[in-house]
């Protein structure tokens, strides 16, 4: 199982602490923005070649897990 620390890093000295894909300067938010705009994962990956497909999928899986875990009805 992939953990957040395997694919996401947040360091105050790197992009002011913005969460980025580990080993890159690509903010995680960029992936969400691309998908929200209707772009495909492949389009995102073409524009950010330093991000691997597996890392992008891992981030999406982590987001899904977090939503399922924290979106319980009151």
Q: Where are the domains of the chain?
A: 4-70
The rounded distance, in Å, linking the Cα atoms of 60 and 62 is: 5
Digit-coded pLDDT (tens) for 16-42: 999 999 999 999 999 999 999 999 999
- Rounded distance between C-alpha atoms, residue 48 and residue 41, angstroms: 10
What is the model's pLDDT at position 73? 65
Please give the Cα distance from 51 to 74 (Å, whole number).
37
* Predicted pLDDT at 43: 98
pLDDT of residue 74: 60
- Whether domain 4-70 has CATH 1.10.10.10: yes
pLDDT confidence of residue 10: 94
Strand partners, 56: none
What does residue 40 show for φ and ψ, rounded to 5 degrees? -85, 165
- Cα 50 from Cα 57, distance rounded (Å): 14
Q: Quickly state the pLDDT bin for 55 (edges 50, 70, 90).
A: very high
């Amino acid at each position: 199982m992939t953990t957040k620390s395997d694919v996401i890093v947040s360091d105050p000295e790197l992009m002011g602490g913005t969460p980025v894909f580990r080993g890159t300067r690509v903010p995680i938010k960029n992936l969400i923005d691309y998908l929200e705009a209707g772009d495909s994962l492949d389009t995102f990956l073409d524009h950010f070649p330093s991000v691997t497909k597996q890392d992008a999928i891992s981030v999406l899986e982590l987001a899904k897990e977090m939503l399922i875990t924290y979106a319980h009805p009151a």
